[in-house]
A and B are shown apart, each in its own frame.
Chain A
């Protein structure tokens, strides 16, 4: 389908209809991961390591197995010891062996909360008793938590064979440094030499959790013939199937995964933790096994994103032209390789058109839970530092911070700091909209300040499948393989309705299980409305082609002589003949007589994802006596390409900004001296509550992506990138103090005031 350049040609796209899944959700009928129970279901629970780092000397499960009602007890010995194998599943590069070892430890535990055994029993109390009866003998090893400590010469080593990749010459000694990455072009040092002003700083951020409201949950049932069904809450049913098959050495065709409704994921549900264990126990017990993590387990053993340190140096001419930029990013990977250090480096300077730029980074393991993707993985971390330094640069140059960014803004044709040349992008339009917004010039009171910061995210395409079924009454079913996290059912139905020329209400979207629809990548990378939307659009077009063919058959003319207009077949011109329009429903009714059911299925690997940029403006008031930072006003401007359903786009932006505000002000993993997490609950892991926030105003800038029929760019990730720096910059404006360490919690802010006073 050709790109629809003109918004006024659209009837459904851009409107705000009621979401198809809304009724189920508000009435409590929606089936989330924990909501399905089959006859004979057993309660599965997991025994976890109390130590941050230890060798497993022995595990004795005999006492647990002897308890009446205990139907299965497993350890790593009950699942295959699979070889190291790199793969790309979920939202990034991964290694199947690491995933297996993260699901259940073999030989060594690498973080507190690491699974060592699992039980399935007839009741929760019996399962608890069985967990207590499992005896694990550990040899406790020294542990290391923080990234720079883990990089030190004398740090305890997690993996004896880990030789840092990407450095020359290749090291001879094992370390916790997985790899070094570098992205850039030009000569950044020469750039600094050209500069009139150089600003630099070292920043650090804390590990933060995705904090989805629904804990990981699944139910698995294995038949004696090995046929396996899994019902699980995740960002991808195909991802669960692939991991489970690999980890358990099964055929993919023997596993059917049904996606549950999902109560938030934000990237954290793009890997498996419990499904292989539930399947392994169901196989042993011959009964369905359900595992539902507690919040405590979610914090201790499922993926947060990395904390890290970031050093940034930027040089500029007096007029604001940046002559050189450099960043060094060191990120915690948790217990297995795989921090988002590459995207952190790639995104750090992507907002700017730079001649000389370099971002280098290290992926570092330590005795923390393995990190998982979290909204724009890596970008918020590096951007916090870069956009704080940009603010310092603006102050030093005496320039308006939006003007400074405009002066250096990336645009079409800019060679991005991470390599490619940008096609049509909307960063300048975003900056213009931010500057023109009344918020930018509104008056402020005492102890108040305003900050601005920007952010970039690639957005991705990838594998997606969708089918369109034209029902005999003219209504239409749309099936896709993408779990709906942010309102994508509505968007799919809207795009299909637009192409078919029928009302939105005539289209019912559903999400298929792994046996009902073609392979579809995870709901992540802000890809669904773009990629699955493209598959849906193409399937709807094929259905239209078929409808036209059927009309041609009914009229006995050539299909080329039929046009499709507003949901009806019409003769293409006067020569085609004088037929009355044939509405979709009329054609559908006659489908049996014209060749059978009218359906279309499309599977694609979508290319041409559109990068997106955002600029956030935050007003804060800082209490100098308590260090409390109140967010007074917040405006998030973003190039969304084109908003299919503007309310859900605004919702994504508000949600991302909210999570960024939590990251900025209060969220952090706190460890005690034994390497145990000290705040594994929502009381002391502080996500923002509603009363902490003003209404977040989302401003949608639409610079359509010409590679998508309706101009879609991804929207879900950009909004979590700018908040930390926007708030830090606002605090600077309010108090004159630069906070370099996240979270900017009251004790830290008050300590900064005290230090400033001397």
Chain B
């Protein structure tokens, strides 16, 4: 009969030792809203679960000189209640708060959403759009990794054996910088993104875009940073031409599959629509700051 062990270490070194020392599959657990579901359905059968939530600092949000530090296992509910973060990164907060339901929000974390490595993860495009950085710890020490470099393929990450994410860093937002996230789902909640889009923009004092990031989810094996989409926005006040160029760039960046959640044609078209609508919200927010 298969056996499953559970450990809840209280320090980073202990957690690394457990993960690196496991003979078979060892899984990190934050909220468990992906992991436990997969365990029950038989999609994963680890021999060891390492629950990180007892590690000091891994749950919670700190505002520092240079920006925000969000503990890897901080729940969506806590993120949604942090006034400073809500003001600085409304797009990341709204993306995170879209995950699941009130019950799921009590547990679901950014690290879990990222490391589950689903192309449809809601918080990930938003975090990438705002240039979030993951602090990865492991047997070989600590490294800073831009969030877009964590997921390599559906269900796969660039983390090595024994490594896990300790926290996320977000820079202090500049003047007239803001972000937004929208997803398309066939229902109104409790669903999985057919297309997700995170946009971050920085405007000058005249409302002209001087910096932008456009990131799509669910339209390719991993999240896609749409460079041409950012180019379409930079230098514009989001006029019709910029919107049309953004729409075209977003569609061109898609590499989706036909599946039960949507056809290729539908996903591509809706990616353009979502990019336009998300950019409009980000512009409005940035202008108001």
B181 to A: closest C-beta gap in Å: 16
Known: A126-B1, A626-B273. A684 touches B189 (CB 8 A): no
Give the chain A neighbours of B36 by CB distance below 8 A.
none
Q: Which one of B104-112, B165-173, B261-269 contacts A? A: B261-269
B145 to A: closest C-beta gap in Å: 30
- The reply to whether the CB of A692 lies closer than 8 angstroms to some CB of chain B is yes
CA distance A300 to B187 in the complex (A): 23
Q: List 12 A–B pairs whose Cβ atoms lie within 8 Å, in order of A's numbering.
A: A129-B1, A625-B269, A626-B273, A628-B186, A684-B192, A684-B261, A689-B187, A691-B188, A745-B186, A746-B194, A750-B269, A751-B265
- The reply to whether the CB of A738 lies closer than 8 angstroms to some CB of chain B is no
Inter-subunit contact A746/B188 (CB<8 Å): no
Known: A684-B261, A751-B265. A666 touches B186 (CB 8 A): yes
CA distance A746 to B192 in the complex (A): 14
B149-184 Cβ-contact flags toward A at 8 Å (1 or 0): 000000000000000000000000000000000001
Give the chain B neighbours of A670 by CB distance below 8 A.
260
Q: What are the 7 tightest A-B residue pairs by CB atom distance, in nearest-first order?
A: A747-B266, A691-B188, A625-B273, A670-B260, A678-B260, A692-B188, A679-B260
- The reply to whether the CB of B22 lies closer than 8 angstroms to some CB of chain A is no
Give the chain A neighbours of B2 by CB distance below 8 A.
125
- The reply to whether the CB of B190 lies closer than 8 angstroms to some CB of chain A is yes
Give the chain B neighbours of A686 by CB distance below 8 A.
186-187, 191
Give the chain B neighbours of A683 by CB distance below 8 A.
191-192
- The reply to whether the CB of A688 lies closer than 8 angstroms to some CB of chain B is yes
Most buried by B among A665, A670, A747, A751: A747
Among A626, A665, A684, point to the contact of B270 (Cβ < 8 A). A626
Residues of A within 8 A of B (CB): 125-126, 129, 625-628, 665-666, 670, 678-679, 683-684, 686, 688-689, 691-692, 745-747, 750-751, 754
Residues of B185-223 contacting chain A, CB below 8 A = 186-192, 194
A538 to B: closest C-beta gap in Å: 47
CA distance A691 to B186 in the complex (A): 12
CA distance A746 to B191 in the complex (A): 14
CA distance A473 to B187 in the complex (A): 54
Give the chain A neighbours of B261 by CB distance below 8 A.
684
CA distance A549 to B105 in the complex (A): 65
Inter-subunit contact B266/A666 (CB<8 Å): no
Smallest Cβ-Cβ distance to B189: which chain A residue: A691
Inter-subunit contact B189/A747 (CB<8 Å): no
B256 to A: closest C-beta gap in Å: 12
CA distance A310 to B92 in the complex (A): 48
Give the chain B neighbours of A678 by CB distance below 8 A.
259-260
Inter-subunit contact B187/A692 (CB<8 Å): yes
Interface residues on B, range: 20 to 34
Among A627, A684, A754, point to the contact of B260 (Cβ < 8 A). A684
Known: A125-B2, A628-B186, A691-B188. A746 touches B260 (CB 8 A): no
Smallest Cβ-Cβ distance to B1: which chain A residue: A125
> Do most interface residues of chain A lie in helix, strand or loop, or is the interface mixed?
loop
B246 to A: closest C-beta gap in Å: 14
CA distance A628 to B184 in the complex (A): 9
- Other than the given A670-B260, A746-B186, 4 more pairs (CB < 8 A) read A626-B270, A684-B260, A689-B189, A751-B266
Known: A679-B260, A750-B269, A751-B266. A626 touches B184 (CB 8 A): yes
Residues of B231-289 contacting chain A, CB below 8 A = 259-263, 265-266, 269-270, 273
Give the chain B neighbours of A689 by CB distance below 8 A.
187-190
Give the chain B neighbours of A688 by CB distance below 8 A.
187
CA distance A684 to B187 in the complex (A): 11
CA distance A625 to B195 in the complex (A): 13
B184 to A: closest C-beta gap in Å: 6
CA distance A747 to B188 in the complex (A): 16
Smallest Cβ-Cβ distance to B266: which chain A residue: A747
CA distance A747 to B259 in the complex (A): 11
A514 to B: closest C-beta gap in Å: 35
CA distance A678 to B186 in the complex (A): 17
Inter-subunit contact B187/A747 (CB<8 Å): no
CA distance A679 to B1 in the complex (A): 30
Among B188, B189, B260, B270, point to the contact of A750 (Cβ < 8 A). B270
Among A627, A666, A679, point to the contact of B187 (Cβ < 8 A). A666
CA distance A684 to B190 in the complex (A): 10
Give the chain B neighbours of A750 by CB distance below 8 A.
266, 269-270
CA distance A180 to B24 in the complex (A): 59
CA distance A684 to B262 in the complex (A): 11
CA distance A626 to B262 in the complex (A): 11
Smallest Cβ-Cβ distance to B265: which chain A residue: A751
B103 to A: closest C-beta gap in Å: 13
Give the chain A neighbours of B265 by CB distance below 8 A.
747, 751
A625 to B: closest C-beta gap in Å: 4
Give the chain A neighbours of B273 by CB distance below 8 A.
625-626
A365 to B: closest C-beta gap in Å: 25
Smallest Cβ-Cβ distance to A748: which chain B residue: B266
Give the chain B neighbours of A747 by CB distance below 8 A.
262-263, 265-266
B91 to A: closest C-beta gap in Å: 20
Most buried by A among B192, B194, B266: B266
CA distance A625 to B251 in the complex (A): 14
Give the chain B neighbours of A745 by CB distance below 8 A.
186
A471 to B: closest C-beta gap in Å: 44
Give the chain A neighbours of B263 by CB distance below 8 A.
747, 751
Smallest Cβ-Cβ distance to A296: which chain B residue: B41
A692 to B: closest C-beta gap in Å: 5
B147 to A: closest C-beta gap in Å: 25
